[in-house]
Structure 1
Amino acid sequence: MSTTLGVHHVGLSVPDLKAATGFFVEALGFQEVGGKPDYPSVFVSDGTTMLTLWQIAEPETATQFDRNTNIGLHHLALKVADKNQLTELHAQLVERDDVGIEFAPEPIVSGAAIHHFICAMPGGIRIEFTAAA
């Protein structure tokens, strides 16, 4: 039996706190649920998952994460209700100029019942969205 009970929250260091907050609140419908102005951060939640968005001190000199060479968060995966919502979300995010789409919805592996797509949110963190087919 595990000693842990699931994820309480995930903390993400971001180069632009306002842009990152806007992505989660405006594009994904998260609610702002707190923060710490003295250590610039905003807490957002979808009612199930809470994220802490931390403003890095010097975005101009920050090194972008490279999933092939760095240790750290490869991506954050979030579930959506179904394949239709996955397709709709992809279409909405394609229209945003602050989001980079890595690939369109497709089976997670050939023939799988789970479909997914990945995008880069403002600041470059990779977000995967998944849904049952």
Structure 2
Amino acid sequence: MLPEPTPPMTLGVHHVGLSVYDLATARSFFEHCLGFSLIREMPAYPAAMVTDGKTMISLWQVADAAQSAPFDRRRNVGLHHVAFLVESPEKLEAVYAEVQAGGATIEFAPEPRADGKARHMMCTIPGGPRVEFVTLI
């Protein structure tokens, strides 16, 4: 028999930290393609924090991009991807066009999710991490 569940001890996600190959490129992608705003920079680390007004993303420059390996979702433990909610199927199409023009590698274009309750797309952004965009239908 399983023990009784306890009430949550957390209040939700404060931020998501992503390690990137190139901080300037990843930051530019979030700011110029997705419309995020810069919260602060930490040049000595180096890192930058950006937000869409609801979610904060911390972008962390890896020490040596040449020695870094891309994330393999079938072999590595860690963050598989981050998913951002968009307001409508039309907005998802606009995001798709923008991220494609912004240099993202598209894993799959907007399509129905398997459960039929959403449309989504997946890409790898400039700088390395996988990002999903989802709209509920």
* TM superposition score category, shorter chain reference: over 0.9
Give me the whole-angstrom Cα distance separating, in 1, the residues matched to 2:41 and 2:73.
28
Give me the whole-angstrom Cα distance separating, in 1, the residues matched to 2:37 and 2:22.
18
Quick check: 2:21–2:128 contact (8 Å CA) kept in 1?
no
Whether 2:127 is the aligned partner of 1:123: answer: yes
Give me the whole-angstrom Cα distance separating, in 1, the residues matched to 2:41 and 2:97.
30
C-alpha displacement of 1:37: 1.5
Give me the whole-angstrom Cα distance separating, in 2, the residues matched to 1:125 and 1:107.
22
The corresponding residue for 1:68 is: 74
The corresponding residue for 1:47 is: 53
**Percent same amino acid at aligned positions?**
44
Whether 2:101 is the aligned partner of 1:100: answer: no
Give me the whole-angstrom Cα distance separating, in 2, the residues matched to 1:23 and 1:95.
10
Give me the whole-angstrom Cα distance separating, in 2, the residues matched to 1:52 and 1:124.
14
The corresponding residue for 2:35 is: 29
Structure 1: gaps of 5 or more residues: none
Secondary structure in structure 1 of the residue aligned to 2:73? coil
Whether 2:24 is the aligned partner of 1:5: answer: no
Whether 2:131 is the aligned partner of 1:132: answer: no
How many residue pairs match? The answer is: 131
Question: What CA RMSD, in Å, does the superposition of the two structures yield over aligned residues?
Answer: 1.0
Quick check: 2:85–2:135 contact (8 Å CA) kept in 1?
yes
Secondary structure in structure 1 of the residue aligned to 2:72? coil
Secondary structure in structure 2 of the residue aligned to 1:63? coil
